[in-house]
Chain A
Amino acid sequence: MKKHIKILEFALSTLWRRKYKNLGIIVVFSIIVFTLSSILLLTYSFKREAVAILSGAPELIVQRVTGGRHDLIPLDYIKEIKSIPGTGEIIPRYWGYYYDISTDGNYTILGAYDRLYDSIRLLKGDFIKKGRQGVCVIGRGVSNARFADIGSKIPIVGSDGKVHVFTVIGVFDAKSSIVTNDLVIISLKDIRSLFSIPEDLSTDIVVRVYNPVEVNNIAGKIKSRLPDTRPITRSEILRTYDTLFDWRSGLILTMFSGAVLAFIILAWDKATGLSAEEKREIGILKAIGWETSDIMELKFWEGLVISSVSFLTGLIGGYIHIFFFGASIFSPALKGWSVICPKFHLMPYIDPYQVAVLLFLTVVPYMAATIVPSWKASITDPDVVMRG
């Protein structure tokens, strides 16, 4: 044990002799691990949170497609869907988008349904009571963009070209921003009049299915009975979100591969050979009686010191970045052109498998890249090594 500690002490002294170079490697290595771990933690927790929240989404949504485009669906379809065994409550949904020229933001306008009044939580103020018109409940993002609070007026230009003014009676809590940030909820009558939706049509239809096993079967039956429809099941929504936040996609992959390439260059630089000074050092150690195994152990400790410090520092930094600072470095890229974008307060979901993969992808190759060229030098005759 003492021998190992002495070799470790010697390794630390060797590293300290070239402290600026080694500190530079630690900084670069830590930044790479920081970037990789931030990406993995962010995408994994996004995915887990999305699936946890959206498991409350409707079991089945039926859209109508006309000429390859999403179209308003006739309410007559409800009768046909109701006749399919296994279907529960069938509710028409009214919703649409609105571009607000004063803030450059896009809002999602949603019609409130009759049985919602007391169930909505995470809300400051009131929800829209049945029969109440000219009022709205807004998400935190809309509230911030328009500096609107309870009692403020929100003008929205309708399909008829007229300005419809809604008084804010409730604002969703920031905690629910991930699902309510851009919402403007108004009464059913108001949304029909705002978007000029005829009485016999709705945006789409929600079908409650009591037995989850039956959902796909019912979706198939709806599709065959009403061929111009597109049923979307909850499992499809969840699958979409499962693949949506994938580290292998687009910009995330670009950042990820950039970091991996930087690491490969770092390891490659190590693996392609030792400096003359390092070779001479190995030669002297051999000449004064060090065994090849001792030199290997020395190099093992050198690699372990640099990679373990870098890995732990990078991982700690990644965790703090994602879960304490809401991915603030990535957020300008994540936000894109969205004017109304929520602040990320992600739930700290951690996948031990991903941490282990990160460990194996960074620490192990770096140590291999440190040990292999040293092994080559240490099995050569000390005289040859020292002369270069």
Chain B
Amino acid sequence: MIKHRIFIGFILFEILVLVFLFLHGVVAKNNRSSEIRRKRIIVHDLMLTDLSIWTEARYTRNPSQADLFSPFQDYPSSIEHFPAGSIIAPAPASILRGEFK
């Protein structure tokens, strides 16, 4: 009658670790909220429009500015030249159609 104790103990341990990790997430979010605010200020002051994650093509560097409307253009999920384009999804169809929402 020892196995079930080990099992319950192990499950409780894993749940505790998970609760600890989620609490860590909450604390980290609170601690880093000022960091997010400062990044938002940088975006506001430098008038940036996109995240600097994929710098391999214009449409992956600035997906929100990509000219989705023009002929012969590239955009994520079109016939793809760059690996990052297969990771990121294209803009919503309404943006492609130039609708303001």
Chain A positions within 8 Å of B, measured between CB atoms, are 5, 8-9, 12-13, 16, 49-50, 52-58, 61, 63, 65, 68-70, 91, 93, 97, 105-108, 110, 113, 116, 119-122, 139, 141, 175-183, 185, 206, 216, 219-220, 223, 230-233, 235-237, 239-241, 243-246, 248-252, 305, 308-309, 312-313, 315-316, 319-320, 323, 333-342, 347-350
Known: A121-B38, A251-B86, A305-B7. A239 touches B95 (CB 8 A): yes
Q: Which residues of B contact A316 (CB under 8 A)?
A: 14, 17-18, 21
Q: Is the CB of A337 within 8 A of B44?
A: no
Q: Which residues of A contact B82 (CB under 8 A)?
A: 336-337
A-B residue pair count with CB separations less than 8 angstroms: 247
CB distance from B67 to the nearest CB of A (A): 5
Q: Is the CB of A108 within 8 A of B36?
A: no
Q: In the bound complex, what is the Cα–Cα distance between A97 and B57 (angstroms)?
A: 10
Q: Which residues of A contact B24 (CB under 8 A)?
A: 348
Known: A121-B42, A240-B91. A49 touches B36 (CB 8 A): yes
Partner of B70, one of A13, A65, A108, A235: A65
Q: Is the CB of A308 within 8 A of B55?
A: no
Q: Is the CB of B92 within 8 A of A240?
A: yes
Q: Which residues of B contact A231 (CB under 8 A)?
A: 100
Q: Is the CB of A108 within 8 A of B52?
A: yes
Q: Which residues of B contact A49 (CB under 8 A)?
A: 36
Q: Is the CB of A245 within 8 A of B88?
A: yes
Q: In the bound complex, what is the Cα–Cα distance between A252 and B88 (angstroms)?
A: 8
Q: In the bound complex, what is the Cα–Cα distance between A16 and B91 (angstroms)?
A: 51
Q: Which residues of A contact B67 (CB under 8 A)?
A: 63, 65, 68-70, 230
Known: A69-B70, A70-B67, A336-B60. A58 touches B41 (CB 8 A): no
Q: Is the CB of A248 within 8 A of B14?
A: no
A5-B4, A53-B51 known, 13 other contacts, Cβ within 8 Å: A9-B4, A54-B49, A55-B40, A56-B41, A57-B44, A232-B49, A239-B94, A250-B85, A251-B86, A316-B21, A336-B56, A337-B84, A347-B29
CB distance from B85 to the nearest CB of A (A): 7
